Structure 1
Amino acid sequence: MSIQLQSNQSPYLWEPSDETIKQSHLQKFSEFSNQELFPYDRLHRWSISNIDEFWSNVWDYANIIGEKGNIILKENNSMIDAEFFPEAKLNFTENLLKGSSDRIAAYEAGENGTTRKISIAELRELVAKLQYSLKKVGVRKGDRVAGVTTNSIETLAALLATASIGAVWTSCSPDFGTKGITDRIGQVKPKVLFTTINYQYKLKQFDITDKIVEVVNSIPSISTLITIDGEIPGHSTWEQFITNNETEPVYEYASFRDPLYILYTSGTTGLPKAIVHSAGGTLLQHVKEHQLHADLKENDVLFWYSNTAWMMYPWLVSGLASGASLLLYDGAPLLADNPTLLWDIAEETGVTHFGTSPKYLDTLMKEKVVLSETHNLSNLRSILSCGAPLVAEQYDWVYQTIKKDLILQSISGGTEIIGCFVMGSPIHPVKRGEISCKALGMAVDVFDERGASTYGRKGDLVCTAPFPSMPITFYGDNGDQRYYDNYFSVRSDIWTHGDFAEQTIDNTLIIYGRADTVLNPGGVRIGTAEIYRVVEQIQEIEDSIVFGLPCGNDEEIVLCVVTEDLTDELAASIRKEIRSKASPRHVPRRIYQVDHIPYTNNGKKVEGAVKTQAIGEEVKNKASIRNPECLGEFTNIKEKECF
C-alpha cells in the first residue's frame, strides 16, 4: 500500500475525548490542587506564580516517600541560588522500587528480540546485593560510581544500588572511544567502574576489553572494576561481586539537594561539561513530566531508544517511580532486513509510551513503513520525540501510518535540566509542527533581542523562575561560575537556555534549533530546523547538515547533502523547495555533496564542529563525535565543487 502524505485540513491531528481527559493524571491533579483544569494557560500561570504550592502538591500527588519538611522554596537572592525542599529527606531508589513486588520492573531486549524480564522483588534483591558489595569496597555517600555499560538490567540495578547509599551515578555508552570515556568519567574521579566488555550493534560483535583496561589505567581513582559480562584478569566479575545473602536494600536518606547523577554535554567545543543533578530535583521533575504530561500510569510500559550516556536514559529509569515497567533496549534502532525491529519488541511487550527521535521516524518514512497494517499496537497511547525538532510532515505520517488514536508529543529541554521546558499533555489537541504547551512549573518564555516577551516571532527560549531540577553545579574547579556563565550571563537572574524558539498566539511552541547554530544571512536569524524541515522531505536526500560560512561582513548558508548523485537539476529542485516552503532567505548559497554527516555520540548533528572545520579551525573535542573521521570532508569546503 502506498500512503500519500497530505496535510490535514483540520488544525488538529488528534483531540482528546472527554473520557481521556477525565481519566488523566492532569485532571486528577487539578482536582487535588483545587484548581480548574481549563483553561490550561491559567493552570500553568498558577503553577509558576505559586511555585511552592505547586511543587508541594506534586510531591503529595505522586506519593513521594520521604520527609517533605515545612519549607518548600527558599528563594535566597537570585534564581540560581533558590533552594527547593531544604528540610526534606528522601531516598531516590526507595521511590523507584516501591509498589507491588510481582510487578514487572523491566524488560530487556536487543537486536535478537526480547531476552528477559525482572520483577520489582527480583530487582530489589539484586540492588540489595550490589548495595552490600559497594559498601564493602568502600563506596560512601557522595562517592562517584561509573558505568561504561549497555542499556541492561545489570546497569539499572547498579545505578539504583549506587543511589540507594547516596553515591553518585555517571555513565557512558560502550561505543564511545577511550578519550570520549576518559574525558567524561575521568573528570569526576569515580571510585568504582561497572563495565560491559562485549556489545552488539547491527548484528556485529564488539569486544572492548583493551579499551576498558586503558580507561582504568588512565583514571587512578578507580579502585574497583566489575565486569558485567566476561572477565578481565585481576578484577571482579558480576557474579563474584553479588555473591552475598542480602535480599532487601537499606535506604539511606539524604537531602533533597544531594547529588544523584553527573551528566555530560556533547562537548564538541571543549571538554564535556559535567553537570551535577540532585536526587530530589530529578525525582520530582520526572514524576511531574511522566504523570501530568505523558500521563504515565501504573502497569504502563515505557520505552525510550537511548544509550546510557544520554539524559533520556535517567528519564526512562524514573518511570519506575510512577509504577510503570521499563523496556530496556540496546542495539541498532533498525536492521537492514528488519526496519520495524523496535516495533516488533514494542508489540510483544505491550509498550504504551514509545520514545524516539525525528531521525528515526524520518528513516521509517523513507522506508515506506506502514505499521498500522503490520503490527497490533492496541496498547500504544503515546509517541514522544526529542533530540531535534519534529517537523510537520512527520506529524502527518505518524497519524496516517502508525495509529490515529494516540498522543504525539514533541518534547524539548536538555541535559542541563534533566527534563523538559515544553511538552504535550493528555488534554491538549495535537497541532502539526507545534509543541502543545509549556510544562507545568516551568516559567518558559521567548525573549527578543530587547529582552521583551514576544509572540509570533523567533527569539531566545528562557525560563524566568526557579525549578527543582536546576543543576547543583558543574563538577570540577570553578564549577559554580561555569554554571552561571553558561545560563545566566546573558540575562542576569533569567535562565537563557540556548534554543531558538517561537511561541504562537495559541501558546504552542516551535523550536528552531540551537541558538549558537542559528544562521544570520543579511542580519535575519534563521533556525537550521527550518531548512531541515524541507530537505528531509526530498526523497533523494539521505541526510543533510546546514551551517553558515563567513562572507565579508555577512554569512552565506551552506547545505551539505548525502545523496547518490548531486546534479544541477537536483540542486535547483532543493532550492526551489526551500524557497517555496520556507522563504527566499532560507535558500542555501552553496550546496555540496558529502558521504557522511557527523553526529555526537548521542545522535545530534554537529553544525558547530562542521563550521569550525570548514573555516580551517581545530575541532577541540572530536571524542564527542561518533564519526569524527568524516569531518575531513568539510575541510576547505569553499575550494570544492558546489552546486
Structure 2
Amino acid sequence: MTRPIWVPDESDLTSARITAFARDVAARHDVIVDRYAALHAWSIESLEEFWAQIWDFFDVLADGDHGQVLAGDAMPGARWFPQVRLNYAEHALRGAGDGLAVIAVDEDGATTTRTWEELRAEVGAFADWLRRSDVAPGDHVVGYLPNGIHALVAFLACASIGAVWSVCGQDYAAPGAAARFAQLEPVVLVAADGYRWNGRVHERRDQVAALRKALPSLRHTVTVSLLGLAPVPGAAVTDWSEATARPADLRFERVEFAAPLWVLFSSGTTGVPKGIVHGHGGVLLDHLKLLGLHLDLRAGDRFLWYTTTNWMMWNMQVSGLLLGATIVLYDGGATYPDPGRLWALAAEHHVAVLGVSPGYLRAAAKAGLHPGHRLDLSALRELGSTGEPLPAAAYHWVRDHIGPVVQVASTTGGTDVVSGFAGSAPTTPVWPGEISAPLLGVALEAWNADGEPVTDEVGELVITRPMPSMPIHFVNDPGGERYHDTYFSTYPGVWRHGDWVTRTGRGTIVVSGRSDSTLNRHGVRLGSADIYAVVEALPEVREAMVVGAELDGGDYWMPLFVVLEPGVDLDNALRDRITTAIRTQASPRHVPDEILTVPAIPHTRTGKKLEVPVKRLLQGMPIDRVTGREAVDDPDLLASFSRYAPSTRPVGSP
C-alpha cells in the first residue's frame, strides 16, 4: 500500500503534547524539529539533552542536581542522573481532589473506584503498615494477586518507602510463583483468596498456603478477600482491611535514580525465569515519554490496557497515573461472556486510549462485531496493540468497524526494558501492517549478521545507544554475566533484542517475529508473522503456529499447525485454500511442508506462541528440557506436540 491508512489532521498536529515538546526543543537548542523524523534524529544524536528536556518538560521532582545526565554511555554500564534522588510513587500520586484515579472492574461487572485523595489515603495507610512491620528500603514485597486495586495500592506503597515490588497472577500455581519469588527472598506476601476467569471461580487458598511454605524468608502475609472466603490460617497473617485501617500521612522516600523499583520476570520457557530489575528513575522518565508524548495521555483521560499482573503492560498501565490519567483496571477474560467485552468497557467508561492484542482484534473481526456502530466510542482516539505483530487486515478492520479517526498504535518493545522500542505518535502517519516509527530516544536499527545496518531487508533489532529503562541488573547475577550474555554477546556494546525487523525506506518498522524462532527455507530467512497474517485471516482458521526444525542429516521440516473453527474439517479443499493464500499473499517460500490440525496452540502465560519449545520437541528434545511447566498456559498440550516429531511418526500421519 503506497498511502497511509491514517494521517494526523491539523487539529491533531497542533494540539498534541509532542508538538509542544518539539517547540520547546527548538527554542532551547536552536534546532529545526518540525517533523517527527527530525525530532527523533535529534533525540538520539543529542541523547543527554533529550532526556534532560523530558525531565524539565514533565517537571520531575527530585533532590540533587540533574545537570549530569549520563556517567558514561557504554552498554552495559551506563549510569543515568547519578546525582539525584527521587521516587516513582511521588509522581504517580501527584493527582489530587475528587477526580477518579482508578476504576477497577471484575468479570462480573462489579466496579470499585478510588479518587486521587482516596488512593493516596489507602497507599499511605498500607505504607505505614509496611514501616511498622519493619519493611525497609530495598526489602522485597511480592503479590500473588489479580489485576485490581489491591495490587495497585500494594505496589505504590512499596515504592513510596523504597521497597521493591514483584507480582504474578494467580493462574500460576504455587510452584510457578515460587520459582520467581524465591529468588527475591521476600519479607511480605500479599495474596488473594482467588479470582474469577471466563465464568469460573478459582479458589487459591491452598496455593497461598503452599506458596508461604516455599518462601521461608517471609515475615508477614497480608490476605485479600476477593471471593469472601475465610482467610488462610497461620501466624503472621493480617487481613488487608486491618493493614489499611489506620490513617497515616503519605510520605515518600526519595532514593537514588537507579534504586530498584520492581522486578519483572521473563517467561521462563527456556529455563529458570530471569528476574529483571528496573529502577525508579529510568521507569519514571521512559513512561512519561511513552505515555505522555507518544500516547498523548492527559489528566482526566481514561486509560485501559487489557492485561494481567503477569505482563509488563500491567506496569505500563499503572504508569498512566504519572500523567494524571484515570486508569481502568479489568480483571477477567477478554472475550467473556462474548468478544465484545472490551469494547463495551471502553464505551461504558469513555476510554480515550485502549490497548488490546492482535488476537483480540482477530476474534472481534471473526465474530462479525461492529463496535463503532453499536456503541458510543466517541471518546476513543487511540487503539494500542502489542504482544505480537499486527497484520494489515486489522488496521482496515479498525478503520471500518471502530472509526476512521481512531489511530492504530501498534507497538513493539519488551519486558526487558518495560517499555517500547517503536510505536506511533499523534504526529505520525499509520501504514497497515507497519509500526509508524522508532520511539523518541530509541536508537533502533536493523543489522545483518556482519553488524551492518540494513534498510528494506530483514535484520536483527538492535539498540545502539542506552535507554534509561534498560535493566539495572538481573537477580542473582552479581557479576552481570547473564545480563551481558542475554543482550550484548552477539554485537559487543550493542543491545540485541532477539526480534527480526525491517526498517523501511520511509522509516517505519515491520516485525517479522523472534529471531530465535526464525524460519530458514533454502537459506532464506522468513518471519512467522507473515504466515500468521495470511492464515489467521481465513474464516475457517481460529489460530495457527508455524515452526522450522533442523533435523538430522541436514533435513529441514516446516509444518503449519492450525486450530480450526468448530465444525470445520481440514479437507483437501481447505488445504489448497491455505497454501494458495500463503503463496499469493506471502511468497511460495512461505508455504509449509505440511498442514496439521491441533486442538489448541500452546502459549506463554502472557499469550505468546511457544514456537521455540515446539521446535525443540520436533527435534526430539524431551519435554523436561524444553520448558518449565509453570511457564506454559497448558503444559499437557505442549507435551502433546512431541508426537509430531518426524522420528516418532511417518511424515503426513496425523
Coarse TM-score class (shorter-chain normalised): over 0.9
Give the one of 135, 138, 144 matched to 1:142.
138
The TM-score, its normalising length taken from structure 2, stands at: 0.95
Letter in 2 for 1:626: D
Letter in 2 for 1:244: R
What is the SS of the residue equivalent to 2:175?
helix
1:297-316 matches, cutoff 5 A = 297-316=298-317
2:233 is aligned with 1:237: no
Question: How far 1:620 sits from its partner (Å)?
Answer: 3.0
Question: How far 1:570 sits from its partner (Å)?
Answer: 1.3
Distance 1:339 1:523, change over 3 A: same
Alignment correspondent of 1:523: 523
Give the one of 634, 639, 642 matched to 2:641.
634
Alignment correspondent of 1:570: 574
2:115 is aligned with 1:119: yes
Of the structure 1 ranges 405-414 and 60-69, higher mean CA displacement relative to structure 2 is found in 60-69
Letter in 2 for 1:356: V
What is the SS of the residue equivalent to 1:14?
coil
**Structure 1: segments with no counterpart, 5+ residues:** 1-8
Q: Is the 8 A contact 1:265 1:272 kept in 2?
A: yes
Give the one of 4, 11, 17 matched to 1:19.
11
1:495-574 matches, cutoff 5 A = 495-551=495-551, 552-563=553-564, 564-574=568-578
C-alpha separation between the residues in 2 aligned to 1:278 and 1:70? Answer: 16
Of the structure 1 ranges 613-622 and 351-360, higher mean CA displacement relative to structure 2 is found in 613-622
C-alpha separation between the residues in 1 aligned to 2:140 and 2:183? Answer: 11
Q: Is the 8 A contact 2:618 2:641 kept in 1?
A: yes
What is the SS of the residue equivalent to 2:216?
coil
C-alpha separation between the residues in 1 aligned to 2:110 and 2:319? Answer: 21
1:131-176 Cα deviation digits (max 9, x unpaired):
0101111111011110010111111110000000001110000111
Alignment correspondent of 1:6: none
Alignment correspondent of 1:457: 457
C-alpha separation between the residues in 2 aligned to 1:480 and 1:328? Answer: 36
Alignment correspondent of 1:428: 428
Question: How far 1:36 sits from its partner (Å)?
Answer: 3.5
Alignment correspondent of 2:327: 326
1:460-496 Cα deviation digits (max 9, x unpaired):
0001001100100000144611011000000011011
Q: Is the 8 A contact 1:488 1:496 kept in 2?
A: yes
What is the SS of the residue equivalent to 2:151?
helix
Q: Is the 8 A contact 2:303 2:354 kept in 1?
A: yes
Q: Is the 8 A contact 1:202 1:332 kept in 2?
A: yes
Of the structure 1 ranges 600-609 and 96-105, higher mean CA displacement relative to structure 2 is found in 96-105
> What do you get for the CA RMSD once the two structures are aligned?
1.4
Of the structure 1 ranges 610-619 and 526-535, higher mean CA displacement relative to structure 2 is found in 610-619
What is the SS of the residue equivalent to 1:116?
strand
Question: How far 1:67 sits from its partner (Å)?
Answer: 3.0
Alignment correspondent of 2:163: 167
Q: Is the 8 A contact 1:189 1:219 kept in 2?
A: yes
What is the SS of the residue equivalent to 2:547?
strand
Give the one of 595, 599, 614 matched to 1:595.
599
Question: How far 1:38 sits from its partner (Å)?
Answer: 2.7
Alignment correspondent of 2:69: 73
Letter in 2 for 1:602: T
Between Structure 1 and Structure 2, how many residues are aligned?
633
Question: How far 1:78 sits from its partner (Å)?
Answer: 2.0
Alignment correspondent of 1:584: 588
What is the SS of the residue equivalent to 1:420?
strand
C-alpha separation between the residues in 1 aligned to 2:544 and 2:68? Answer: 47
What is the SS of the residue equivalent to 2:104?
strand
Alignment correspondent of 1:28: 20
Letter in 1 for 2:438: K
Q: Is the 8 A contact 2:205 2:232 kept in 1?
A: yes
Of the structure 1 ranges 350-359 and 107-116, higher mean CA displacement relative to structure 2 is found in 107-116
Q: Is the 8 A contact 1:455 1:505 kept in 2?
A: yes
Q: Is the 8 A contact 1:592 1:642 kept in 2?
A: no
Q: Is the 8 A contact 1:11 1:432 kept in 2?
A: no
Alignment correspondent of 2:268: 267
What is the SS of the residue equivalent to 2:102?
strand
Question: How far 1:642 sits from its partner (Å)?
Answer: 4.8
Question: How far 1:572 sits from its partner (Å)?
Answer: 1.9
Question: How far 1:37 sits from its partner (Å)?
Answer: 3.8
Alignment correspondent of 2:344: 344
Q: Is the 8 A contact 2:71 2:82 kept in 1?
A: no
What is the SS of the residue equivalent to 1:13?
coil
Question: How far 1:77 sits from its partner (Å)?
Answer: 6.9
Letter in 2 for 1:415: T
Residue identity over aligned pairs, in percent, reads 36
Q: Is the 8 A contact 2:534 2:582 kept in 1?
A: yes
C-alpha separation between the residues in 2 aligned to 1:433 and 1:173? Answer: 32
Of the structure 1 ranges 317-326 and 231-240, higher mean CA displacement relative to structure 2 is found in 231-240
Of the structure 1 ranges 286-295 and 65-74, higher mean CA displacement relative to structure 2 is found in 65-74
Letter in 2 for 1:621: G
1:323-373 Cα deviation digits (max 9, x unpaired):
10000000100124x321222121111100000100111011110111122
Letter in 1 for 2:97: S
C-alpha separation between the residues in 2 aligned to 1:20 and 1:76? Answer: 38
Alignment correspondent of 2:388: 388
C-alpha separation between the residues in 1 aligned to 2:449 and 2:59? Answer: 42
Alignment correspondent of 2:366: 366
What is the SS of the residue equivalent to 1:312?
helix
C-alpha separation between the residues in 2 aligned to 1:53 and 1:613? Answer: 49
Q: Is the 8 A contact 1:590 1:642 kept in 2?
A: no
Letter in 2 for 1:491: Y
2:44 is aligned with 1:48: yes
Question: How far 1:290 sits from its partner (Å)?
Answer: 0.5
1:391-410 matches, cutoff 5 A = 391-410=391-410
Letter in 2 for 1:55: W
Q: Is the 8 A contact 1:591 1:642 kept in 2?
A: no
Alignment correspondent of 1:606: 610
C-alpha separation between the residues in 2 aligned to 1:490 and 1:606? Answer: 23
Question: How far 1:74 sits from its partner (Å)?
Answer: 2.9
2:468 is aligned with 1:468: yes
2:90 is aligned with 1:90: no
C-alpha separation between the residues in 2 aligned to 1:25 and 1:70? Answer: 23
2:631 is aligned with 1:624: yes
Q: Is the 8 A contact 2:105 2:329 kept in 1?
A: yes
Q: Is the 8 A contact 1:598 1:606 kept in 2?
A: yes
Alignment correspondent of 1:180: 176
**Structure 2: segments with no counterpart, 5+ residues:** none
Of the structure 1 ranges 536-545 and 408-417, higher mean CA displacement relative to structure 2 is found in 536-545
